Amino acid sequence: MTGRAVHRIVVLFIALSISILGPADAAINPVPVLTLRLEPAMVTVNTNSSSPTIVQFNGTCTVDKMPIERATVTLTSSTDVGWVSQVSPTTMVFTATTPQAFTCTVVIPQGTPNMTGTLVVNGRAVAAGLQSTAETKALITNIGPPPYVPPANWTANATVPAENAINRTNNQTAENGTSGAGPSAGLLGLSNNIWMAAAVAVLAVGVAGYAASRRPRPA
C-alpha cells in the first residue's frame, strides 16, 4: 500500500468521525439550563371588606440538561407588597427534559386598598454539582372595596348628644344658683346680688336717719 493510499484512508476516517459525532454533540452544555413560565402574566381582582381574596397561577418548569444527568429543581415565591404566597410543589426531579407543572397562590387580605403587586417565582436547578437559576413574574392589580359613606342623617344624629349634654350642663348650673352662660355668668350674678344688698343697706340707713331727724326734740 502506497503512502498516498494511507493518507486517503486517514482523511476518510476523520471525516466519518466528524459526521457521526456532529456539531451538536460537541457543543453539549453540562450546566443545566432552567426555564420558568407563569400564567397569566397579569390579573385584576376585586377584594371586599369581609374575606380575603385568593389568586392562583399555573406555571411550567423546564430543564435543558445532558441526557445522563439527574436534575433537582427547588422553587420559592414572594411578593413585593407583603401578600402571602405559596408555590407547589417546592421540589421537582428531572430525569428528562419534559416540562413539569406547578401552581402558585397569592392571598390578598380583606379590605386591601387599590394597589398593584408583583409575584416572583424563583427556581434553582442542580445537576452533577452544577447549578443555574431562573425567575418568572406576574402582576396583580387589586381593586379595593369602595370607601365608607355615612348615612345622610349621620351628622345630625352625631350632634344631638352634644346638644343634650350642653343643655344638661346649663340646667345643672342654673340649679346651682348661676345662669346657664357658664362660670363667668355665675360670678356676675353673685356680684349683682352683693351690690343690691349694699344698696338696700344704704337705703335703710338713710331712711333711719331721716326718721330720727323728724322726731321732736325734748325742751
Domain-located, residue 196 = yes
The three-point CA angle 67-69-73 to 5° equals: 115
Query: What type of residue is 179?
Result: S
Residue 18's pLDDT is 45
C-alpha–C-alpha distance, residues 29 and 97, integer Å:
14
Same domain, 41 and 88: yes
Same domain, 126 and 58: yes
Same domain, 125 and 169: no
Residue 40's pLDDT is 95
Same domain, 171 and 81: no
Task: Report the pLDDT averaged over residues 181-199.
Answer: 58
Domain-located, residue 63 = yes
Same domain, 133 and 82: yes
pTM: 0.57
Model pLDDT for residues 16-75, shown as the tens digit of each residue:
554 444 444 444 678 999 999 999 999 999 999 899 999 999 999 999 998 888 999 999
C-alpha–C-alpha distance, residues 123 and 113, integer Å:
31
Domain end marker among 84, 119, 143? 143
What backbone phi and psi angles, to 5 degrees, belong to 27? -110, 15
- Mean of per-residue pLDDT scores for the chain: 77
Same domain, 138 and 159: no
Residue 15's pLDDT is 46
Domain-located, residue 2 = no
C-alpha–C-alpha distance, residues 217 and 219, integer Å:
7
CB 39 within 8 A of CB 55: no
Same domain, 50 and 103: yes
Domain-located, residue 178 = yes
Domain end marker among 89, 113, 143? 143
Domain-located, residue 106 = yes
C-alpha–C-alpha distance, residues 102 and 27, integer Å:
31
Domain end marker among 90, 117, 143? 143
Residues with Cβ < 8 Å from 42, sequence gap 6 or more?
138, 139, 141
Same domain, 124 and 192: no
Range of the domain at 120: 30-143
Q: Looking at the predicted structure, is the pLDDT value of residue 172 above 50?
A: yes
Same domain, 190 and 139: no
Cβ count near 194 (within 10 Å): 9
Domain-located, residue 14 = no
Cβ count near 188 (within 10 Å): 13
C-alpha–C-alpha distance, residues 37 and 102, integer Å:
10
CB 135 within 8 A of CB 120: yes
Same domain, 78 and 158: no
Residue 63's pLDDT is 95
C-alpha–C-alpha distance, residues 201 and 69, integer Å:
121
Same domain, 139 and 158: no
Look up the CATH number of the domain holding residue 132: 2.60.40.10
Region of poorest pLDDT, from 7-21, 23-37, 186-200: 7-21
State yes or no: cis peptide before 40, omega within 30 of 0.
Answer: yes
Count of the separate structural domains present in the chain? 2
Query: What type of residue is 157?
Result: N
Same domain, 158 and 199: yes
